[in-house]
Each structure stands twice: as C-alpha cells, then as structure tokens.
Amino acid sequence: MGTGERAEGEKNLELRRDAEGLALVGDGMVLRADFVRLLPRLRPDRLGRELLVRAARVRGVEAPSAVDATAGLGEDALLLAAAGFVVTMFEKDPVIAAILRDALERAARVPELAPVAKRMTLVEGDSVAGLRYLGFSPDVVFLDPMFPERTKSAAVKKKFQLLHHLERPCDNEEELVEAALAARPRKVVIKRPPKGPLLAGARPSYQVSGKAVRYDVLVPSRD
C-alpha cells in the first residue's frame, strides 16, 4: 500500500508518510512504529529486567533464534533482538507490516539501533502457516495474540484502538499454539493480561508475571 492510500475496508484510515516516517492516521489518532523511543529500555542495565527477556532467555546458546508469530509494531521483537536473539517476525496485516517495515528501515539508519535491527527479519504472512514451514527449529516462539478489546473504550490506549480497526483479537488460539509447538522450539512464550485466561487452555511450565502483563512459558519435551 502506497503513501496516502486508504486502509482496505476502513474509509476513515489512511497511510501517510511525513518527516517521521510512515503512519496510519484516522479518527484523530496516529499509529506509528517508533523504535528510537524504546532506546532507554534497551540499555543493558534495564534490558535484563524486562519480563519478556527473562521469560525468553535460553541457556547455553550463543546466538539464540526466536520467532515472533504476532509481530504487530515490533516492540517485543526489538527487545528480543537487543537481548541477542535473531528474530523472525510474522505480520499478516499488510498495513501493519508496511508500518513495521518502515520502522526497521529507519532504525537501520540510527547507530544505536542498526545492530539490533539487523537481527530482525520481517515476513508478511500468516504465522500459523509460516511456522509449519520455517526450515529450522527456533529456540523460542513468542505469541502475543491481541488482548480482547476492553468494555470501556477510554481505557484502551489510542494505538490499540487503531490496531483494532485492522486486526481483531485472536480467534484461532488452538491453531496458533499448535503451530508454535509444531516448530519444535525450546520454549513457547505467551503474553497475556495479568489475570487473563490461558491461551487455548495451554498450561504453562512456569510463568513470569508483572503488574501489567504475564508471560506463560511452555517448555515442550525435546524427545
């Protein structure tokens, strides 16, 4: 989709490019992926305390690989790449994929981000199919199915209001978890609301929890 084009099926949404990069604009809101804003979280003294990094950490692997099966705006993938993972990202929505690709290109021109962005590869397509034909077994598969929209719209952050126009909360939970496990990773890390239900009823081997988010970690048998 080119700059200035309407998001398919959404008359009030439009992709626009300005000095800050590509953004989805509509309903008085702007959705843009901005990795520079995340630089403070990538500092070594803070990165190791990130719950996702703690949940995804694998021992004894020099260059671990991860698949972010629900990439979105790429913020979680950026944290994993900064922690040393080589990350393959799947994003099925073409508009979100375009915004993410633009963010990666801009990050490659920022000295502090370029080495991290180099470890991130975007694949536009459905991860359920993609996970079955990876060609390798990743160390980690990360799943962040969109949390269901809250009843009170004022409680939903603006960027997620726009994301909800394009992608709905996950409706194929079982397929997603099955595909993740079929890729034969060392672990599957699932992002959930703190008190949210298990994804597809998959009982975790352990959990890493905070006030705002919970990570359910599945450690499949390596037999």
Question: For position 142, which CATH number holds?
Answer: 3.40.50.150
Owning domain of residue 193: 35-218
Number of domains in the chain: 1
47 against 171, higher pLDDT:
47
Q: What is the pLDDT of residue 164?
A: 60
In sequence order, which residues have a C-beta less than 8 Å from that of residue 98 and are 6 or more positions away? Answer: 1, 15, 22
pLDDT of amino acid 131: 95
Which two tokens mark 198? Answer: 């298990």
The single-letter code of the amino acid at 45 is D
Q: What is the pLDDT of residue 158?
A: 58
pTM above 0.85, yes or no: yes
Write the pLDDT tens digit of every residue in 186-212: 999 999 999 999 999 999 999 999 999
pLDDT confidence of residue 7: 53
- Is there a domain that residue 203 lies in? yes
Of the candidates 75, 50, 53, the one whose C-alpha atom is nearest the C-alpha of residue 64 is 53
Compute the radius of gyration of the chain from its Cα atoms. 17
Residue 112, domain member (yes or no)? yes
The answer to whether residue 208 sits within a structural domain is yes
What single-letter amino acid sits at 146?
M
d(CA 170, CA 182): 19
Whole-number percent of the chain with pLDDT over 90:
75
Residue 152, domain member (yes or no): yes
* 161, pLDDT greater than 80: no
Residue 16 lies inside a defined structural domain of this protein: no
Is 28 within the bounds of a domain?
no
